[in-house]
Amino acid sequence: MTDSHGRPAAAPVVSLREITDENRAAVEALAVTDEQDYFVATVTQSLKDAEDYPDAKPWYRAVYADDKPVGFVMISDGITVDDPTYVGPYYLWRLLIDHRFQGRGYGTATLDLIVEHVRTHPDARTFLVSHVVGPGSPVTFYQQYGFALTGEVHDGEPILELDLYPA
């Protein structure tokens, strides 16, 4: 891509922003492809889950590329209850990049920002994710980032783990 002077355009800056009354509708309108619906819940459902499961310590943000909302991320940010229905204590609960903006590095940049956030917790050593199995599953995306399958399965979803402080 080039700018108005024909020079290579600077890559958009990816940031995480709070969801407010100003941006809520735009963030809830973000969507994956019909085929990818199988792998992730909608933003609206995720916000409802965040309200319904406070023990899962939901922490969520809109993903922005410069000033444009392009995705949504929600993590379990330090679960303290001993409840086998949850994966944690630090768990990537939801991640989606709108279908129009996929394949531009925004998912990877979001993981970078989330890992930076999780590392601010002194007790956090690993970060977990699980994935729905099936063609088009995001497992390769996570493995390319550095997550490794643990061999454990939660609710039919294989769990992957990222070492936050690799030697």
Ligand X SMILES: CC(C)(COP(=O)(O)OP(=O)(O)OC[C@H]1O[C@@H](n2cnc3c(N)ncnc32)[C@H](O)[C@@H]1OP(=O)(O)O)[C@@H](O)C(=O)NCCC(=O)NCCS
| Chain residues in the site for ligand X (CB under 6 A) | 32, 36, 39-40, 95-97, 102-108, 131, 136, 138, 140-141, 144
The distance of closest approach from Cβ of residue 5 to ligand X in the complex, given in angstroms and rounded to an integer, is 27
Say if residues 41 and 90 touch (Cβ distance below 8 Å). no
The distance of closest approach from Cβ of residue 144 to ligand X in the complex, given in angstroms and rounded to an integer, is 5
Distance CA 88, CA 79 (A): 6
Q: Of the two residues 103 and 151, which places its CB atom closer to ligand X in the complex? A: 103
Residue 149, beta-bridge partner list: 160
Indicate the residue whose CB is closest to ligand X: 107
Q: Which DSSP helix (H) or strand (E) runs through 145?
A: helix 139-145
Cis peptide before 89 (omega within 30 of 0): yes
Q: Of the two residues 32 and 79, which places its CB atom closer to ligand X in the complex? A: 32
Q: Of the two residues 21 and 134, which places its CB atom closer to ligand X in the complex? A: 134
- Phi and psi at residue 157, to the nearest 5°: -110, 120
Say if residues 139 and 124 touch (Cβ distance below 8 Å). no
The distance of closest approach from Cβ of residue 110 to ligand X in the complex, given in angstroms and rounded to an integer, is 7
The distance of closest approach from Cβ of residue 20 to ligand X in the complex, given in angstroms and rounded to an integer, is 22
